[in-house]
Amino acid sequence: MILRIAVLLFALFGLQASAQENYNSATIPKELTENANAVVRYERIDISLPSRRLMNYAIKRVVTVLNEHGNGYVGAETSYDKSTSVNSIEAIIYDKNGVQLKKLKRKDFKDQSLSGGDVTDNRALFLDYTPVSYPYTVMFTCETTTDNTAFIPQWSPVEGAFCSTEKEEMSITAEPSLGFKFKEYNFGEVSLQKSQSGATYNFSAQNIPAYRSEDYSPAFIAIRPYIIFGVEKFHLEGVDGEAKSWEAFGAWMYSNLLQGTDELPAETVAKVKALVGKETDPLKKAKIIYKYVQGKTRYVSIQLGIGGWKPMPAKDVDRLGYGDCKALSNYTRALLKAVDVPSYYTVIYAQNKRDINPDFVSMQGNHIILAIPHNNELVWLECTNQSIPFGFQGDFTDDRLALLVKPEKGEIVRTHVYDAQGNAQVCTATCTITPEGVLKGSLKRVSSGLQYDDKYSWASAGKDDLDKKYKNIFSNINNLKFSKTELTNSYDEKLLTEDIAFEAPGYATTTGGRLMFAVNALNQSSTVPQRYRSRKLPLNIATGFYDEDVVTIALPAGFAMEAMPPNITITDTYGEYKAEYSLVNPAEIRFKRTLLIKSGRYPKEDYDKYREFREKIARNDNAKVVLVKQ
C-alpha cells in the first residue's frame, strides 16, 4: 500500500498548497496567451500500479479559460463504473484576479450515464459551470481506483489547438514484476524532461505556446506529443492478460475473449447451409452469409464490464437480432465457420485514421471488423452496416494497421489502401445553351472507391433531399432545376451511377450581342486553401482522388465562337490538371477535364506551393467561352 499512500499524500498536499498559489490571470506569460483560448496553468497526474489488479490515479489540474471558446479545456470530469470508484473529486473556481468564487464537492458535480443510446454501466461526473465573466480559473482534483490495468492513460502536455501549457507533470510507479513499459512520440519541438527513481518514472514539459488549427494539416492524434504506457501483465474485468508480443497477445484474446462464443443453434446452422446450397466458392458463400446478417441484425453498442471487450455469444445475437461491433463481427464469423469459410476477428481504430501501434503491445483499438483470407489477400467486412456492399471498406476503416486475432497468434496487418486513381468520379454530359442563355442538359456520373463511399447512401434518399444535395454540389449554377435525379447503386461492382437532367435559366451572361459562360459548369473546383502568413503544421492531403469529365455543349443557332480558353496542363508534386477545349463544328464545343490529386504528407514549406496549384485549378475551372451573334 506504499504506492497508494504516496498518491493520497500528493492529493492532500496539492489541496493545501493551492491556497498559497497565485491564479491571477494577469501573471500568465504573454507568449502563452497568444492564439490561446485557454491556458493549462498546472497539471500533475500520479499513477500507481502496486499489483496486476490495482491502479490508483490522482490528478490536480488548473486551467485558466480566457474566453468562451476555451470552456472545453476545463477538463473537470471523470468516469466510473463497477470496476472504477471515485474516491474524491473537487473543483474550486477563481475569478480573473485569482480570488476564490466557489468550491464544489462531489454532490455539486453532474452525475449521468454515458449510455447515449448504448448499453453501458459507465457513468460520468462532470463540472457544469457557467462563468459570469472571463477569464476565470478552475482548479480540479480527483482520485480514482480501478482493478483494470489494461488501459493506462496516455500523457500529453499539448491539449489541442488554441490551448497553451504553462506546466504539466506526470509520475507513474509500477510494481517491477508487471513488466512496465512506455514509449514517446512526436516530442521533436516540445522539450520533455524525464527521470527515473527506482520503479517511479517522472515526465514534465512546460511553456508550450498555443498552436492554431490549420487547413490541410494532419489529424491532431498524428502530430501531438504523447507518451503511451503499458504493462506486460495486466488485468481486464476479471481476466488476467499477457502483452509481451502481438503473437502472444492475439492468442490471449482468442483464448479469453473469443473461444466458446461462436456456438450457434442447430437450426440456424441448418438454415445457413441451406442458403449456401451447393455453392463451393468461399467468397460467394461469404456474400450469401453477409447478406443474411445484414437482413437479420441491427447495431446496438454494448459496454457492460467484460462485455465491453468480449463479444456477446453468437447464439444470443442469433436469438435477439442485435449486437455491437464485437458481437456482430463474431456472429458473422460463427456463421461463416458453419459453412466452412474461415475468417478473423480484427481489432482496429475506426473513423479517424489511426494505426494500431505496431511497436507497443497493449490493449488498443475502438472497433471490430472481420477479415476473410482469400488468394493471399484479405477481404474486409464491416458487420455493423446494413447497406454497405460485401467486401467494401470505406474511409471508416481503410488504410490503417489492425490486429488479426487468430487462434494461435495475433498479427498486425494493413487494411485496404485506395490509390487516387481508384477513388474516381467519371462524368459524361450533353448540354445546350439557348440564345437566351439557358443551360439545359443531362449527365451520367459513375463513382468508385472512396468517392463511391461518399455517395452510395444517396441511392436511398428522397427527391427533395437529392435536390438539396445537388443544388449544393452545383452551387455555381443559379436557378438550377432538376427534371430527373435517378441513382443506381451497383453493389457487386461497388459503383454509384447518377443520371441527372437539369435546366438553369440565365446561366450564360447576355450582353451586347454576346453570350459568355463557363464551359465547366458541372465540376468546378473553387476550393483554394486558406493563406497563412506563417504556416506551422505540415501539409497533409488525406485522400487522393481522380475526376474525369467529358462535356459536349450545343451552341445556339446564329452565334459564332469569338473566344475560347486555351488547353492547359498543370503538373505538380500534388497531382495533375488538364483542360482541353475543341470546337467539334461551328455549333458544338467539347470540353474534357481531368484532375488527379495525390494523397500524402509534405513539409509545411510545401503548403504555399499546394495553395498555388489549387488556385490555378480554380481559375482555369472558371474559364469562359464568348459567343458573338452573327
> Do the Cβ atoms of 523 and 564 come closer than 8 Å?
no
Residue type, 369: I
**Do 472 and 392 fall into the same domain?**
no
DSSP assignment of 239-300, as one string?
EEEE-SSHHHHHHHHIIIIITT-----HHHHHHHHHHHTT---HHHHHHHHHHHHHHH-EE-
Q: What is the CATH number of the domain that holds 594?
A: 2.60.120.1130
Which of 299-308, 518-527, 618-627 shows the lowest mean pLDDT across its residues?
Answer: 299-308
543-557 confidence digits (pLDDT tens): 999 999 999 999 999
Q: What is the CATH number of the domain that holds 257?
A: 3.10.620.30
**Do 67 and 198 fall into the same domain?**
yes
**Count of helices and strands (H, E) across the chain:** 11, 38
Average pLDDT, the chain: 92
Exposure string over 566-598, b if 16+ CB within 10 A, otherwise e: eeeebebebbebbbebeeeeeeebebebbbbbb
pLDDT at 4: 40
Q: What is the CATH number of the domain that holds 204?
A: 2.60.40.3140
- Give the domain extent around 334: 243-414
Query: Of the candidates 351, 385, 414, which is a domain's last residue?
Result: 414
Q: Tell me the C-alpha to C-alpha distance, in Å, between residue 358 and each of 37, 347, 400, 408.
A: 35, 12, 11, 18
Exposure string over 150-178, b if 16+ CB within 10 A, otherwise e: bebeebbbbbebbbbbbbbbbbbbbbeeb
Give the residue from 88, 15, 86, 8 showing the smallest Cα distance to 46.
8
- Percent over 70 (pLDDT), the chain: 94
Give the residue from 333, 398, 334 showing the smallest Cα distance to 370.
333
106-153 confidence digits (pLDDT tens): 999 999 876 544 555 678 899 999 999 999 999 999 999 999 999 999
> Do the Cβ atoms of 625 and 431 come closer than 8 Å?
no
**Do 228 and 247 fall into the same domain?**
no
Residue type, 413: V
Query: With the CA atoms of 625, 626, 627 and 628 taken in that order, what torsion angle do they form, in degrees rounded to the nearest 10?
Result: -170
232-288 confidence digits (pLDDT tens): 999 998 889 989 999 999 999 999 999 999 999 999 999 999 999 999 999 999 999
Domain count, the chain: 3
**Do 87 and 234 fall into the same domain?**
yes
The helix (H) or strand (E) run that includes residue 581 is strand 575-585
DSSP assignment of 504-543, as one string?
ETT-SEEETTEEEEES--SS-----PPP-SS--S-EEE--
Tell which wins on pLDDT, 321 or 22.
321
**Do 233 and 247 fall into the same domain?**
no
pLDDT at 566: 96
With cell 491556458, the residue in question is: 39
Neighbouring residues of 132: CB distance < 8 A, sequence distance ≥ 6 = none
Is residue 218 reached through a cis peptide bond, with omega within 30 degrees of 0 on the bond before it?
Answer: no
Query: Of the candidates 361, 395, 414, which is a domain's last residue?
Result: 414
C-alpha cell at 230: 503499458
**Do 140 and 202 fall into the same domain?**
yes
Q: What Rg, from alpha-carbon coordinates, does the chain have?
A: 30
Cα–Cα dist 472/474, whole Å: 6
C-alpha cell at 232: 506486460
Query: Of the candidates 354, 387, 414, which is a domain's last residue?
Result: 414
Neighbouring residues of 57: CB distance < 8 A, sequence distance ≥ 6 = 7, 45, 46, 47, 143, 144, 145, 146, 153
Whether the predicted model's global pTM rises above the 0.85 cut: yes
**Do 313 and 200 fall into the same domain?**
no
Where does residue 278 rank: exposed (0-12), middle (13-18), buried (19+ CB within 10 A)? exposed
**Do 476 and 501 fall into the same domain?**
yes
DSSP β-ladder status, 624-629 and 377-381? unpaired
**Do 229 and 258 fall into the same domain?**
no
Cα–Cα dist 446/457, whole Å: 14
